[in-house]
Amino acid sequence: MIARSLLAMLGVLALTAIVTAADPVPAPDTGAKAVDAKIAVAPDGTPVAAVSAPADVPAWVIDKGDTAWMLMSAALVLLMTPGLAFFYGGLVRRKNILSVLMQCFMCMCIITILWVTVGFSIAFGDDVAGGFMGNPMQYFMMKDVPFDGPWMIVGKSDTNPAGVPTTFPGPLFMIFQCMFAVITPALIIGAFAERMKFAAFTIFSALWLLLVYCPVAHWVWYGPTDSFFSLGSFALTDGVPEGALDFAGGTVVHINAGIAALVCILVMGKRHGYPHKISPPHNLPFAVLGAGLLWFGWFGFNGGSAFGATSQAVQGFVTTHIAAATAGLVWSLIEWVRNGRPTVLGIITGAVAGLVGITPAAGFVGIGGAIAIGAGATIISYLFVALFKEKFGYDDSLDVFGVHGMAGIWGAIATGIFAVKGFGIDRAGGLLEGNGAQVVAQIKAVLFTVVWTGVVSFILLKLIDATIGLRPTVHDERVGLDLTDHAEVAYTLVE
């Protein structure tokens, strides 16, 4: 079985290489205005304005290399949710592993349907409600998302009035972003693992996507407006980005999920018997497998956020790996010094913290920045996981707030510090450089996200608790949610 899986993976990689090497094939002529789909950069790093293609060239030409890479990236990001299921499932008690797997797979199903109906429109539709959100019906059921034309990555400004077109079909942008929307509410599962009813989880995840994730994605990734809510960096003034930088979701995904996790912890309270009667992780090899799948999938998460097979995709790929490796190493060294021995749980937790930390910065920093961000993510996460959680007595079951929330906040702010001028060309063609003004913009985006996520998550949880209830009975928690919620068990006793 393992051999077949490896052969299948090699086949996919080989097919991708063949497709990437092939010549571009023009899509049907839609009659749209011809436009160069790539941002040209001079040898000194200065962006060069896009030049209209000759009149006899089709309006839009699909780049098969970019399309192949984005298809692969979307698949890699989707793989992260089953990887997360293994990671979380190995860390809970044996009687609750199926409940965690079921919750992750439910996210893959329900979030996808919500995304293609209204979620994508709320996140990437034209401004309504003063820029608070996108028009929820604009791309209903993918209406007006062109299969035979590019998606215009919105970055409208005086110097970029049309936005930046992708070199791959519009639905590919939608499905790539869908995979981000799927995993974000799934991350929150680790905070309330073993103690939320499945019905409550399903309702919370659906409402949280529409009321929290999609608006925040609109503020950060849609592009600039004159709205109070505009946080993104697509607008340019003299070639310098306005607003926060979030290359692949440090704010939209990880801070969002981490703060919601903290609110869940505080509203729901501790697991029965916490901390003295809670068993250790029941299957660490499962958790290691999950961490490995997350690390692997993260290359699509960050590398794909360059929106093409470009030098910035390579940059994001490389810095992602370096930050994760640094963070895992630093966590092990800390445990070695403090406790006399490093642990498997520690090294995989550190690696995930490094992946979280580098996410907003992956395409904007160099090797030194990646090492600094990875090390900082581990140090901050370790403090919250090993020290502050015990000191303040909150029950963050699988350390979602400590790892995703705090490493995400560090990564967002560190992006403003370590972004390298000329090294990272942002999607609107602007040159980046870490400086005080950029750090302020990063902090503003963090604060907006913390406040909105915290308040709305609290309201949603209270409303659900007042109607159908959040927690199972004490008896059901002691029996385990696998049996009480799903009438299944992962392990049976053989006589």
Beta-carbon neighbour count of residue 106 at 10 Å?
18
Cα 110 to its chain centre, rounded Å, is: 17
Predicted local confidence at residue 1, as pLDDT: 45
Domain ranges of the chain: 65-222+237-285+295-486
- Determine the Cα–Cα distance for residues 490 and 38; give it in Å rounded to an integer: 50
**Is it true that the peptide bond before 275 is cis, omega within 30 degrees of 0?**
yes
Residue closest to 265 by CA, chosen among 353, 397, 380, 386: 397
What is the per-residue pLDDT for 234?
55
Per DSSP, 237 falls in state E
Topology of domain 65-222+237-285+295-486 in CATH is: Ammonium transporter fold (1.10.3430)
Which residues, given as ranges, of the chain have pLDDT below 50? 1-58, 156-161, 235-236, 239, 423-431, 495
How confident is the model at residue 222, as a pLDDT?
85
The C-alpha atoms of residue 310 and residue 302 are separated, in whole angstroms, by 12
- So what's the pLDDT on residue 229? 87
> pTM of the predicted model, to two decimals?
0.86
Beta-carbon contacts of residue 423 (< 8 Å; ≥ 6 apart): 315, 364, 365, 366, 432
CA 76 – CA 466 distance, rounded (Å): 38
Beta partners for 164?
Answer: 153
pLDDT in tens, 297-337: 999 999 999 999 998 899 999 999 999 999 999 999 999 99
Spatial contact of 291 and 283, defined as CB atoms under 8 Å apart: no
For the chain, the first-to-last Cα distance in angstroms comes to 28
How much is the pLDDT for 328? Answer: 98
pLDDT digits (tens, 9 = 90+) for 135-177: 999 999 999 898 888 888 765 444 444 567 889 999 999 999 9
Write the burial class of residue 94 (CB in 10 Å: 0-12 exposed, 13-18 middle, 19+ buried). Answer: middle
